[in-house]
A and B are shown apart, each in its own frame.
Chain A
Amino acid sequence: MRRLRAKLGLALLVGAYAGALYWVLTRSEPVIHRREVTIYFAHWQIERGPPDGINAAIKRYEELNPRVHVVQLQIPGATIYPQWMRSNLAGETGPDLMEWGAWLPGQKDIPARYFAPLTAELAKPNPYNRGTSQEKIPWQDTFHDKLLAPKRDSPDPGQIYAVNITESTLRLFCNVELMKEILGRVVVPKNFDDLRKIFAQVQDYSRRTGRTIHGLAGSRDTTRSVAQSVILAPLLGVNQRLDDGGTLYLYNRQVLAAYLAGRWRYSEPAVRAGLQLVRETTNAMKPGFIQLRRDDAMIEFLRGQALFFFYGTWDATSLRRLASFKIQPMKLMQAMPDDPEVGRYVVGQGGEGMGETSLSMYLNKTSRHPAEALDFLKFLTSVPGQQLFTDASLWLPAVNGAVVPEAIRNFRDYQEGISFGQAPYDMIGTEVGMNWDRNFYRLSGENGSAEKFAAALDAEMPAAVRQDLKAELRATLVLVKPQDPVIVGWAGLTGDKARIRREESEAAQTMSEGLALQMKLQLESAK
């Protein structure tokens, strides 16, 4: 009996083993289905909206491409993202696709060192646009602004390194109920003087009622944007004066070089008038705003302690989802030639362009899957990909052909007028920006004035401007030098692709080299 049981046990064991073996060899599948390729997409847009929009596009992309998995990495911006980006890129552990912005302090060299140009791909139609209004149109031309910022921010004037995912602008977000309470009705400011009057009425209301209410929610971050907007009108004439080359546009290096050559000063009347407008605007914020961040300003606005919150339309979705009151976005109008305070320095209507796309995504040079990463970028910036993004995020699409949701349609109502593009005189370089921030207390508050601030800046800026122009020169050379072996490499390869890449590289290198030599000349002649 015992022997029979032992035999039965052994038979069962053998049977189970044979069954398992049969199952493993013929039927089994991995418990977790792994895709062949995983690509990582990193950005700092952790506001409400974009992560949802990007996820919607990823979901559809993965359905279309079963072998590819896309992972969205949401890295907090401001202080963390730059360090995270730099350390990962230096260690060759960076994600395949990364967001980058020209304004990130100390990160100017990143595209030249770590990102791959997309120029050649951008000249071809985006295959994911097949069957849409953008079919057969070169990828670059499908973007609403034809990629203005990636061209402007390119370290190399002949190359484009990024594509943009959305479009944004700056708006005054108004607490409609609070405005009715203070002004008795909704008043849309038509020029800066109207805004000035609204600020005065808010101050008066606060004093009469004893309620702490400010005209504008305050923070260091939002102050930068306000300053850059309001300062522009009196500076239009200065910009025109500095535009030797007739580009109707000023690059940082030109503004820096012009300062070094003594062609403009913060204390000259037109620039001081711009500073005066910044002072008027920041005086509508609560004391101590310079120590606060964007989120603090948003909380102040959401608590009903400020009538306006001024920042990008990128915050609109968060505001809409978090506010308990109705919000109306309005344009921050610039001072006009008839402005009672600074009108004599204003040469015309300032404009905000025709919309500028943003959220620039770059392809990491050391990506393990560059073809798949590029393919995902193409999908995300195709008409179907952008429709998914904009519907789920309520952020504007970057490309033509995607239908803008009703709720955000008025974000594309831009103020037409004269614009010199990127010429904010506070952010033309890292050192200049730090000097501006360090002295800002001289501009705002009871003891501040445009004169004191301008005098302090002009005392410190010559050295800072020189440092920043040197940094521009270094960043350009970082791009120029490695091109020599690259050109030799393309020259050694056969075929049209190699020839075209060599020709492009040679032209781009010569242009960048020319810019570097111009900066060198400007630095040396202003000694």
Chain B
Amino acid sequence: MYPPRSILPLLLIGPLLAAGAVAPAGLDRAWSALADSRPQDVLRQLRRDADSRADRLVWAAARIGAQPATDANMREAEVVLAELETGPDEIAAEAAYLRARIYQLHLNEPDFAQAAQLYAELARRQPESHWAQLGLVKLGLLKLYLLPDLADPGADRLAAAEALLPRIHEPLLRRDLELQIGQAGIVLHQPQARFLPHLIAAAQAGGITGTAREDLIVQIGVLSERAGDWARAREYFERYLADYPTNVRAFTIRQKLGKVTRQLAQEGGA
């Protein structure tokens, strides 16, 4: 007894699914689960030794994000990433980036030197890849605060990060490193002339949101005022008051705006 011919296509759906004929939809579900902070769902859906490189990458990313975040789990993810890293494509770059992130952030005892080396290798191998570019920003953070050893008082931390800027061609990522160099300059008690240009560059790039943007506009105004750059101080104070007229800082900024405007008038620059 044979099934009617009309049922045959239906019977084929199972084997087709098993063969991965509809894999893109499945992979989209996995990306969505990762983006939605549900790495456990990905681990239920995919196998570590899946056929496709993309599947294995998603699996490794989920392994990094899933609880418990043990070193054993990170090492398991790293094995998969190290294998993916050998390819020539964007997946290889992404794998290399994630591998560096494991050493920088996800191990119980981070290995910052190893992370820095992996970022540098990635940037040398695939310099225009987005992941290499993002890696340069993270490398910049390591150089600002951690490498070389903190005990070295002579290290020019800003210079090491500044040297990376010409290699970052993506405007938003370059902006992010500019901002970090500027903020590090304050915390590391560097001369203002050394870090203020970086803050200005970050503000000019735009797109910074939340309280970070408010702080940045005030900072540039106040630091410019401290440096006697009245015109720039006025520009940023005015911008702040236009955007945040009811903020608790508005009273002080109005006072400061009055002061710099008077200075400009005295110097004939109003």
Interface, chain A (partner B; CB < 8 A): 119, 144-146, 148, 151-152, 154, 156-160, 244-249, 351-356, 365, 416-421, 477, 480-482, 484-486, 488-493, 498, 501, 503-504, 506-508, 510-511, 513-514, 517-518, 520-522, 524-525
Contact = CB atoms under 8 A, between A and B. Distances in A.
A407 to B, nearest CB: 22
A355 B246 contact: yes
Given A480-B105, A507-B207, A510-B180, A485 B65 contact: yes
B65 A520 contact: no
Contacts of B123: none
A503 B37 CA distance: 16
Nearest to A514: B180
B214 interface: yes
10 contacts: A145-B246, A145-B247, A245-B219, A245-B223, A419-B249, A489-B35, A507-B175, A510-B141, A514-B184, A518-B187
Contacts of A513: 105, 138, 141
B181 to A, nearest CB: 10
Interface string B131-144: 00010011001001
B31 A521 contact: no
Contacts of A160: 209-210
B11 to A, nearest CB: 32
A490 B35 CA distance: 5
Given A351-B251, A511-B176, 20 more contacts: A146-B244, A151-B211, A156-B210, A157-B212, A247-B219, A248-B252, A353-B247, A354-B248, A418-B252, A419-B249, A482-B37, A482-B65, A484-B61, A485-B64, A486-B34, A488-B94, A489-B34, A498-B35, A506-B172, A517-B144
Q: Which 8 A-B pairs have the closest CB atoms?
A: A489-B34, A246-B222, A489-B35, A485-B65, A492-B31, A353-B248, A151-B211, A354-B246
B124 interface: no
A156 to B, nearest CB: 8
Nearest to A243: B222
A490 B208 CA distance: 19
Contacts of B251: 351, 353-354, 416-419
Interface of B: 27-28, 30-37, 39, 54, 57-58, 61-62, 64-65, 69, 94, 98, 101, 105-106, 130, 134, 137-138, 141, 144-146, 150, 172-173, 175-177, 179-180, 183-184, 186-187, 189, 207-212, 214-215, 218-219, 221-223, 226, 244-253
Contacts of A501: 35
A521 B180 contact: no
Contacts of B173: 506
A514 B137 CA distance: 11
A492 B209 contact: no
B137 A510 contact: yes
A245 B183 contact: yes
Contacts of B33: 489
A351 B134 CA distance: 42
Contact of B69 (A158, A481, A503): A481
A322 B187 CA distance: 52
A493 B134 contact: no
A484 B246 contact: no
Contacts of A154: 210-211
A484 to B, nearest CB: 5
Contacts of A356: 248
Contact of A511 (B184, B212, B218): B212
B145 A521 contact: yes
A489 B61 contact: yes
A514 B221 CA distance: 22
A501 B37 CA distance: 13
B35 A510 contact: no
Contacts of A485: 34, 37, 39, 61-62, 64-65
Contact of A518 (B183, B209, B222): B183
A510 B246 contact: no
Contact of B101 (A484, A490, A518, A522): A484
A262 B147 CA distance: 26
Contacts of A144: 246
B219 A354 contact: no
